[in-house]
Amino acid sequence: MRTVRLPGGDEVVALGQGTWRMGERRAAHKDEVAALRHGIACGMTLIDTAEMYGSGGAERVIGEAIRGQRDRVCLVSKVLPSNAGRKRMKRACEKSLKRLGTDYLDLYLLHWRGGVPLDETIEGFLALKEDGRIRRFGVSNFDTDDMEELWETPGGQGCQANQILYNLKRRWSEASLMPWSRRNGQPLMIYSPLEQGRLPASGALGAIAAARGVTVMQVALAWVLRHEDVFVVPKASLVAHVDANLGALDITLTDDELAALDKDFPPPEGGAPLEIL
């Protein structure tokens, strides 16, 4: 499994596991736990979640999945903007830890920007780090101007990653954020790399998949994974979906294939707005 090095020196796997919409249906619980455990066994040891997902339900699913193997896993969770003040963040983090069945998070992210000033949020992160409740902190859904403001905020350059929406249909970050991130050594953590399964099966995407004998989604995931400084957290609620995601690691797209995908999914020209799902 290829890894990506974070600014603090930690290495994370390039292909992890997302959990959005997990923990919402009791009937799916067993399959979700099994999928996460299978992913861990296959080397997908980074698991991303948030207190918002299933109102804590996703964290409970993860807690069951990692029981007895916490040390194998890199756990990432996210705090809501409404809880991003120092006191509320501490309470929110403790609740997440309880649901996850662990006493620390490897990475704790601000889910998106809200009304709490960045300096107060960073103070909260640093306090949790000092208490041993988190190892590192980062952000999510930050555009270039947000990252520049973070960089100018005391302690802000301790940020380890920015989690953003990025896939063939959502390429806004290539205009400004991705170049900025590379200049400043900030890896990007990608969510919804498959556009929630809504990518077209026709055109270049379908043709490449058919020629290679793989699925459209595997091609789309390989397209994101081609960047050596990003790590990706697609959700898979079934073991079969986990295996399908793993198959993308074996696909290296050619220059001609990349050019064909660019034609069907053009990169942004000039400024492009932040997109959030």
Asked if 53 is an active-site residue, the reply is yes
Contacts of 59 by beta carbon, 8 Å cutoff, 6+ apart? 23, 49, 51, 53, 77, 96, 99, 100
Cβ neighbours of residue 122 closer than 8 Å, sequence gap 6 or more:
137, 153, 154, 155, 156, 158
Q: Token match 């064909």: residue?
A: 260
Q: What is the DSSP string of 147-186?
A: HHHHHHSTTGGG---EEEE-BTTB-GGGTTHHHHHHHTT-
Which residues 6+ apart lie within 8 Å of 60 measured at CB? Answer: 23, 54, 99, 100
CB 154 within 8 A of CB 126: no
Choosing from 53, 108, 166, 191, the catalytic residue is: 53
Active-site residues, by number, are 53
